[in-house]
Amino acid sequence: MHNILLIGAGKSTSSLIDYFKRKAEVENLHVTIIDRNLDLARKIVGNNERFELKNIDIFDEQLRYDAIKNCDIVISMLPARFHLPVAKDALALGKHMITASYISKELKDLEPEIKQKGLVFMNEIGLDPGIDHMSAMRVIDHIKNSGAQMILFESFTGGLVAPESDDNLWHYKFTWNPRNVVVAGQGGVAQFLHAGQYKYIPYHKLFRRTEFLEIDGYGRFEGYPNRDSLKYQSIYGLEEATTMYRGTMRRVGFSRAWNVFVQLGMTDDTYTIEASENMTKRDFVNAFLPFSPTDSVELKLRQYLKIDQDDELWLKLEELDLFDGETRIGIKNATPAQMLQKILEDKWTLKPDDKDMIVMYHKFGYKMNGEHKQIDSQLVVKGDDQIYTAMAKTVGLPVAIATIKILKGEIKTPGVHLPITSEVYTPILKELKEYGVVFNENEVPFQCYNPNAVAG
């Protein structure tokens, strides 16, 4: 019998739990799930003796330790900053561990001991990071093994609303932690490498440096750069590449309108606004505009950001009732980012029948026999419903598959890993296909730059 411990049973674990349920008999699993809120897990598992659901405070270190003692492998779906104490317990007790989060320096420091004990600590094995690593490395290894030289790598991921549920002008709904969406891109300059040149974009220009991307059958999207584009150059073995770019995807027009919030200062999470609890949306907008005894908030905003009266982005702002002077937003001691989040949550929450959609787009440029070539790889995954969302599937399934493969010794190299070796990505990508995670790969003409880049 394989004993699995799942710490945390939030929204993104539905497909993960469902996978274990379907594999429980054939793989002889016993799954313990701990969390304060077990509603979702109970709904999925139903009456099943192979599952044990324990109402435990997952931030209680002693209770957590006791739970880890009785398992063979720990899956931590805690917020990233709580992984380290779990990892230390798992190491002390000699258990494998899996997370969908980025590898921290502190975790990497434990690697010698983890290796010594023959344990596998697999991380970054959700969607992004996760499926992006695996699908990219499969192609990169293929290109390199064919004797070619990688010269360009670009990768974009987006969590969006499916076209059939897309009913707002932003073509966006929250399928992920709204706070992360509001503060996305903050905390440092965006750096990347383009045709051998290092490029730097400050936060306030991020949403004006988009480029267009076409996904077959889904039309046009836009991408803006992440902060960490250079980090994976050495991890992916792309030291020779002269273009390295990782970005986030949105529907066309989102970034240009989002830039209004950035320019006003509404995404700032570092200070609180005076008397925020009394503010209407109109007051909130006005706090970022010059005082005038006569001019309207609307006119001041148009003039300040040079928005034409018939600009389509104005309709996006109106759709959010941004100039409503009646209703209070109603949060005390709020930062601008918290106020904005509340405004957006009222409009961008998925309805019961809405479906979400994940899109991913990789570009691989390489040189073979003196010729420049390019492969584009595209993925679209749609959610089934509000429980089995595309986000839950793409985050949870790789974690679930990896769990079984580690338990069965099919993934066995000890250490602190992310899924970039064939031992890991080949079997997992193969099985993911059964769940509709299928990349569409095509040879296209090489482009050392994107002619559809939109600047300014």
Residues that bind a second copy (CB under 8 A): 188-189, 191, 194-195, 197-202, 204-205, 209, 263-265, 268, 270-271, 273-275, 286-293, 300, 303-306, 336, 448-449, 453, 455-456
Other CB atoms closer than 10 Å to residue 419's CB: what's the count? 24
Output the DSSP codes for 250-291.
EETTHHHHHHHHHHHTTT--SS--TTGGG-BHHHHHHTTS--
Closest CB to a second copy among residues 409, 456: 456
User: How many CA atoms, within 13 angstroms, populate the side-chain half-sphere of residue 429?
Assistant: 22
Nearer to a second copy by C-beta: 265 or 325?
Answer: 265
Minimum CB separation of residue 446 from a second copy in Å reads 13
Name the token pair of 254.
Answer: 């989102």
Q: How far is the CB of 319 from a second copy (least distance, A)?
A: 23
C-beta of residue 354 within 8 angstroms of C-beta of residue 165 = yes
Closest CA to 339 of 417, 265, 260, 235: 265
Q: Which is nearer to a second copy, 288 or 425 (CB)?
A: 288
* Residue linked to tokens 């070796």: 421
Residue count (the chain): 456
Backbone angles phi and psi of 251, in degrees to 5? -70, 150
Coil vs helix vs strand at 22:
helix
H or E, element range at 412: none
Q: Buried b / exposed e across 351-364, counting CB within 10 Å, b at 16+?
A: eeebbbbbbbbbbb
* Least Cβ distance, residue 286 to a second copy (angstroms): 7
Question: Residue 334 or residue 390: which is nearer to a second copy going by CB?
Answer: 334
Cβ closer to a second copy: 15 or 191?
Answer: 191
> Can you count the helices (H) and strands (E) in the chain?
16, 16
Q: CB 259 → a second copy: shortest distance, Å?
A: 11
> Taking the complex as a whole, how short is the minimal distance between the CB of residue 193 and a second copy, in angstroms?
9
Q: Are strands 2-7 and 29-35 parallel, antiparallel or unpaired?
A: parallel
Instruction: Considering the complex, state which of residue 65 and residue 304 has its C-beta at the smaller distance from a second copy.
Output: 304
Smaller CB separation from a second copy, 293 or 409: 293
Residue 92 or 453 having the CB closest to a second copy: 453
- CB 207, min distance to a second copy, A: 12
Nearer to a second copy, 135 or 226 (CB): 226
Angle of helix 422-433 relative to helix 390-407, nearest 10 degrees? Answer: 130
Work out the number of other CB atoms within 10 angstroms of the CB of residue 83: 26
What's the min distance (Å) between Cβ of 346 and a second copy? 22
- CA dihedral (166, 172, 178, 181) in degrees, to 10, reads 160
Rg (CA), the chain: 23
Query: What is the nearest approach in angstroms of a second copy to the Cβ of residue 318?
Result: 20
Structure tokens at 1: 């019998």
Query: Smaller CB distance to a second copy: residue 200 or 353?
Result: 200
Q: How far is the CB of 394 from a second copy (least distance, A)?
A: 31
Least separation, in Å, of the C-beta of 141 and a second copy? 27
Concatenating the DSSP letter of every residue in 293-309 gives SS--HHHHHHHHTT--T
Angle at 23 between CA 80 and CA 52, to 5 degrees: 65
Are residues 397 and 15 in contact, defined by beta-carbon separation less than 8 angstroms? yes
Quick one: 89 or 268, whose CB is closer to a second copy? 268
- Provide the minimum distance between the beta carbon of 285 and a second copy in the complex, in angstroms, as a whole number: 11
